[in-house]
Structure 1
């Protein structure tokens, strides 16, 4: 209690300048002292923020940390979803592969966080909460010892003055001896503490490289974690892509023709074949086919069914306009028209040739330049449209009418401008291209054709309509002569069918 009183009195005297004050630290150590406080603040703040970045529970083992990790929970959810859907579905396979990948990523994250916690977070905590506070505590202790030393020296000096001796003489008596011993002992304690504090401060400065290494370690550990995570993802991605590519049930609307054919292993696009074979069954006599707009809801439903490769012929047999609308939509939604952007100018130039024979020859030359996939599909479509026009007396769809409504879905310019302008200029030229293709389909595309290519839609009544042709019609033969020419060479089943059509027509 007495020592504290003397310390407070000495501090007060030093504050008002009535007592001499001993400097605790040198100028260099004072600078180190300031740096200590700054490093402590930075280390404490970094430790706090870095701890907040951890996703696992700090201070527990790997198993307990894994159970509450969000990535682990996600992996479990994906695996459970995979088990529910099964490997028979593409989504089930995707969930399983992703679940396994997320679980491995979770294990890598746990290992990363444990390493960061051990090599970075804990050393920063020790630096900010143990090492620097210990030095600062020792610094405060030294300040108290210096104050005690100054107090004992002041009291000894007062004792010297009160004895009436000169300042250069030593005071005598028991009290003076006791004060001198106290002063010397205090000075000795100050010296020992100052030496220890100076050593600790200099060690702190020397170890700054080690402290800086914590942050280098952080980046190195992060880099290694991301390398391993990237390797895991790069390993699983080819497996995921392989499953996607191997899955046959892919949407076809809006996809490139060659991609769809390659994935499905077909020569004729699925929506084209499905729509054509259904129309051959139920739509050939439908008035205004391709011209009358279908029900929007039924068209949407049919397009979705075609994308899923699940089409019930009986369900749509009552609405051929929806089937025709779906075929038009598929052709229009292709990224590139069936007759290609590359040959667009050549088609247009061919249509502008005034002489019919030369014009037809130029159109034929353009046909021959089409890629194989495009050639097969345009041949299939044109042959069907030619078949459709044979029933023009009932369906009112002449080659010209068909070309008007379907031409813009088979060929369009790559950079489309104003739609109205295109309809008034370009469409007229496109009609001049499509109409002769339909009129002379068997000349442009000689040979038989099987509309039901895959055999999945029954046997269309009018498939292979030129199977018994002994010769191809002349391109300059008019429609009536060509129709008579075809009737003479038509298979018996088709001729019989036409007789039935006439019967129904007369019967109303």
Structure 2
């Protein structure tokens, strides 16, 4: 039997955190090294060093450069998903092929928009969904911003429903315009995806679970736990509470039947030919 070892950093072979798995395939023995990354690391935002790019760059910088209301790569992803992915079971929940996602990421920075659209038309729709999620995950700060995240996390816990709605909507209106318009565009898309729940199995709650951390996870994690909890709280508990809070914030907006003060902005994005 032949023996094939994937090209890996030699230092990784000495790292105790890596686990080796051997898979036999058609007379070839493939050795895979697998390493677990904690949630803290996997959700850490990685800003781009090049402000001329699309990924890892603030929404406001991209839209200003493109003279657009919503980053063009995001609009392309949404349009392609709505063209042929709305009935895909587990859309946004299923992982796309990493190689395809990275290819789209590279293309968004190096070729024209028509070429990106052609690439998307030939790719598995889950890779396109993965590219959209990656775009949000790699923002240098969350779409809801580091500044306002603690306020959203606190506002969603208010028991007075009137006070909660007033607080959450006022915070939304306080976001930078580019962030606000991008969120409204995504919100309308996610609501349309949920309308196909009977086929794609993606309810509003499922979508909030997928996108909650992508949109709200702060660039530098700070605990939002009570100062004097009644019971000891582990790091795992801390992250679980963070994620629940992030999901609840997004789900709140998805559940709202209307956002009166923002209707005109939402309509301008939906029907404008200006991207």
In terms of fraction of residues, the more helix-rich structure is 1
1:251 and 2:56 are equivalent in the alignment = no
CA distance in 2, matches of 1:357, 1:386: 23
CA distance in 1, matches of 2:257, 2:61: 27
TM-score by length of 1: 0.38
The equivalent residue for 1:312 is 117
Quickly say closer, same or farther: Cα 1:422–1:258, change in 2 above 3 A.
farther
1:454 deviates by 4.5
1:299 deviates by 1.1
Aligned mate of 2:206, from 396, 401, 408 = 401
CA distance in 2, matches of 1:321, 1:428: 25
Aligned mate of 2:243, from 427, 436, 441 = 427
The equivalent residue for 1:446 is 263
The equivalent residue for 1:328 is 133
TM-score by length of 2: 0.69
Equivalent positions of 1:120-131 (< 5 A) are none
CA distance in 2, matches of 1:402, 1:394: 14
The equivalent residue for 1:437 is 253
Equivalent positions of 1:102-113 (< 5 A) are none
RMSD over aligned CA atoms reads 2.6
CA distance in 2, matches of 1:449, 1:387: 17
Aligned mate of 2:80, from 268, 278, 295 = 278
Aligned mate of 1:385, from 148, 171, 190 = 190
Q: Which has the larger radius of gyration?
A: 1
CA distance in 1, matches of 2:118, 2:258: 28
Equivalent positions of 1:154-193 (< 5 A) are none
Structure 2 unaligned segments of length 5 or more: list them. Answer: 1-49, 224-234
1:412 deviates by 1.4
CA distance in 2, matches of 1:454, 1:305: 23
Aligned partners of 1:383 and 1:442 also within 8 Å: no
1:413 deviates by 2.7
1:285 deviates by 1.2
Aligned mate of 1:346, from 121, 128, 151 = 151
The equivalent residue for 1:46 is none
Structure 1 unaligned segments of length 5 or more: list them. Answer: 1-243, 457-508
Task: Give 4+ residue runs of structure 1 displaced > 3 Å after superposition.
Answer: 313-318, 417-423, 449-456
Quickly say closer, same or farther: Cα 1:404–1:282, change in 2 above 3 A.
same
Structure having greater relative contact order (Cα 8 Å, sep ≥ 6): 2
CA distance in 2, matches of 1:411, 1:328: 12
| Residue correspondences, number | 209
Aligned mate of 1:368, from 170, 173, 197 = 173
In terms of fraction of residues, the more strand-rich structure is 2
1:318 deviates by 5.1
CA distance in 2, matches of 1:423, 1:288: 24
Aligned partners of 1:360 and 1:436 also within 8 Å: no
1:422 deviates by 5.4
The equivalent residue for 2:70 is 268
Quickly say closer, same or farther: Cα 1:388–1:302, change in 2 above 3 A.
same
1:355 deviates by 3.3
Q: Deviations over 1:285-305 (max 9, x none)?
A: 111111111111111112122
Quickly say closer, same or farther: Cα 1:352–1:285, change in 2 above 3 A.
same
1:417 deviates by 6.7
- Residue 311 of structure 1 aligns to a residue whose secondary structure is helix
CA distance in 1, matches of 2:257, 2:109: 29
